[in-house]
Amino acid sequence: MGMSRREFVKAGALTGGGLAAAAAVVVKDRVAPPPADPTGPDTAVNLPVLENVAARSDEDVLLRMQRDLKRAMSKPVEQRQWVMVIDQRKCIGCHACTIGCVAENKLPPGVVYRPVVTEERGEFPHIVTVHGR
């Protein structure tokens, strides 16, 4: 006769436990503990991206941003600086930049670091309407 239900569950539990223990050992070996001092040369990260792709002056903007990120991450934390640039000529008032800022900075509802300001440009003459105003 075959295996009883009790033996089957026992074998499954032992197999699952063994796999979990093996995975824990592998993960522990691969994950380095964080440095005691969050500054200094130990905080530099070497990203292995784009090493075989030659840089060109007309390359895609995403490749250029990846190169910039790799260059920034190779520096220690205290030497890194981040900037967000928004081309206001392309702004249509959709608030996507505000939503992105709230999501990235994990802000509570109602808190905005950089609100979108609605602005009218130019001078508009006062026109008398039917109501006399």
Q: Is residue 9 part of a domain?
A: yes
One-character DSSP codes across 49-79: -SSSS---TT--HHHHHHHHHHHHHTS-GGG
Number of domains in the chain: 3
64-108 pLDDT per residue, tens = 888 888 888 888 888 888 777 778 888 888 888 888 888 888 889
Mark whether 94 and 109 lie in a shared domain.
Answer: yes
2-58 pLDDT per residue, tens = 889 999 999 999 999 999 988 888 777 677 676 666 777 777 777 776 777 777 788
Q: Is residue 122 part of a domain?
A: no
The pLDDT score that the predictor gives to residue 32 is: 66
Domain that holds residue 1: 1-31
Q: Decide if pLDDT at 133 tops 60.
A: no
Mark whether 58 and 92 lie in a shared domain.
Answer: no
Mark whether 48 and 75 lie in a shared domain.
Answer: yes
The pLDDT score that the predictor gives to residue 61 is: 79
